Structure 1
């Protein structure tokens, strides 16, 4: 009798921008702003005040803060010493992970909770070692030039995110997390997501989904963004990118056929959009052993 354990097929993207380790002097501040990605912060020394909407949070050594995409915040070092920090802006394709990360405007992981996670300590230690400054400059993700180091950076960032998910679930169980979205908002967002995902090939519009659900277009967009942390248009774009990558890598379909299945007007339209997404043409992205397809 044969027995086989399989790993599920997946094609997912980790997007990382602005990954830094640095410090700012007393009196430094960054004006109110927001990002289109998740922002993860860790205080490595001193303290800093984060004003999030009408809430003021002071981060001290060892505290972690996860900010949802689109959340406006202001950062101020009101202490009498330098504020040392780690921060990174990131995003993931996985909707279940995004739903958990983005269910609240922010999540604070106090130092004493973070210290209980051996995995978080190990992964962040590895990341710090890879980002050691050279020639007197602060560390950044661009400091790792070797291909294997770039992979190790991504691996450790994913491990950090994984440990944060575990800590977030612990907060949920203990009832100490910030206010969640309402049940109505969650149900409405899930219904919108289902209709958008099943209508990718027809390039279904947000307006048509809103009409089907008896909502205004603005209400539809607002509810979806509140739950998932990105707009319906951004969601559709990411889903198409994920499916495009999967079909290019795992099938022998020509580019024109993939473009049609994803609802693009032509192969050339798809190719231009794919290049905007990835910096590569679909033909260049395809594994070389599959040959190349001419692009319109």
Structure 2
């Protein structure tokens, strides 16, 4: 028998859309709490990310890490058409890959040998079949088959981009002026991650972890956030959510026992937090 691993992770997608901007369009400096993935379809656009200026041409893709400040401009004498998606996911290993650098560029010659062009065609076909938005709304109406197809195509896009990021070195990424320092920071962040996850069932404060590693709490948070794209506290929440989902779905542990294993003060505290995470109580989630 061949048995696949359990998959309990959640993908959050926000702002998935096609759009066209005229010549002279400019979006001021800003940042997002989610990852941003942009594909240039027609024209070209300049993105200023930190101190770097990147020009995207048709077929190029750009991934921007959470929290990275950037701005965009269309200075060409023609419209700029693009596909854009803001997303987040609670798979911590994937987040680590996505957060290694402030941004990554996938050029058209890299993307054309993947399924990315076919994915864009699929999304365009979904849009063409959709119903116009209701008055006062800006979202297309999809039937349930196309809703599922939209989710699966979005996941496939992320799969293709992740594959390229893992196997194709990108020269157009934030350079490290101190490779040894960057390596030690990554190692330290991984050490913090190990300590946090090893002691997940204990009421461990970030300050204690920082003190044990002889760094300040602010240093601990800054280093960890740079490598993982999340603060240590956010990381613990994601880790606990995944662990809670798995125990609720695959074990006979009571809610009280799960709350205790995850270090919550009480079952009611766990239930309140779980509802904040998922919109459901642990009991409701388990029954479904």
Report if TM-score (shorter chain) is over 0.5. Answer: yes
Partner secondary structure for residue 75 of structure 1: strand
Instruction: State the alpha-carbon separation in 1 of the partners of residues 99 and 26 from structure 2.
Output: 25
CA contact (8 A) 1:18 1:141 kept: no
Q: Map of 1:228-239 to 2, 5 A cutoff?
A: 228-239=228-239
CA contact (8 A) 1:37 1:70 kept: yes
Task: Report the Cα offset of residue 212 of structure 1.
Answer: 0.9
Instruction: State the alpha-carbon separation in 2 of the partners of residues 145 and 245 from structure 1.
Output: 29
Instruction: State the alpha-carbon separation in 2 of the partners of residues 171 and 144 from structure 1.
Output: 37
Q: Residues 5-54 of structure 1: CA distance to partner in whole angstroms, max 9, x if unpaired?
A: 22122311111111111112222221111111111000111111110000
TM-score (norm: length of structure 2): 0.90
1:293 aligned partner: none
Task: Report the Cα offset of residue 272 of structure 1.
Answer: 1.4
CA contact (8 A) 1:51 1:75 kept: yes
Instruction: State the alpha-carbon separation in 1 of the partners of residues 245 and 34 from structure 2.
Output: 21
Instruction: State the alpha-carbon separation in 2 of the partners of residues 177 and 56 from structure 1.
Output: 11
Partner secondary structure for residue 71 of structure 1: coil
1:198 aligned partner: 198
Instruction: State the alpha-carbon separation in 1 of the partners of residues 133 and 76 from structure 2.
Output: 25
Which residue of 31, 34, 47 corresponds with 1:34?
A: 31
Q: Residues 83-102 of structure 1: CA distance to partner in whole angstroms, max 9, x if unpaired?
A: 21111111222222222221
CA contact (8 A) 1:20 1:141 kept: no
Task: Report the Cα offset of residue 64 of structure 1.
Answer: 0.3
Structure 2 regions of 5+ residues with no counterpart? none
Task: Report the Cα offset of residue 55 of structure 1.
Answer: 0.3
Instruction: State the alpha-carbon separation in 1 of the partners of residues 39 and 19 from structure 2.
Output: 11
CA contact (8 A) 1:131 1:141 kept: no
Instruction: State the alpha-carbon separation in 1 of the partners of residues 96 and 207 from structure 2.
Output: 23
Instruction: State the alpha-carbon separation in 2 of the partners of residues 271 and 130 from structure 1.
Output: 38
Are positions 1:155 and 2:152 aligned together?
Answer: yes
Instruction: State the alpha-carbon separation in 2 of the partners of residues 220 and 247 from structure 1.
Output: 30
Are positions 1:189 and 2:189 aligned together?
Answer: yes
CA contact (8 A) 1:171 1:177 kept: no
Instruction: State the alpha-carbon separation in 1 of the partners of residues 143 and 280 from structure 2.
Output: 21
Instruction: State the alpha-carbon separation in 2 of the partners of residues 141 and 67 from structure 1.
Output: 24
2:250 aligned partner: 250
Instruction: State the alpha-carbon separation in 2 of the partners of residues 161 and 136 from structure 1.
Output: 26
Structure 1 regions of 5+ residues with no counterpart? 289-296
1:109 aligned partner: 106
CA 236–167 in structure 1, closer or farther in 2 if over 3 Å, else same: same
Task: Report the Cα offset of residue 144 of structure 1.
Answer: 5.0
Instruction: State the alpha-carbon separation in 2 of the partners of residues 200 and 49 from structure 1.
Output: 43
TM-score (norm: length of structure 1): 0.88
Instruction: State the alpha-carbon separation in 2 of the partners of residues 209 and 141 from structure 1.
Output: 46
Aligned length, in residue pairs: 281
Partner secondary structure for residue 86 of structure 1: strand
1:121 aligned partner: 117
CA contact (8 A) 1:37 1:68 kept: yes
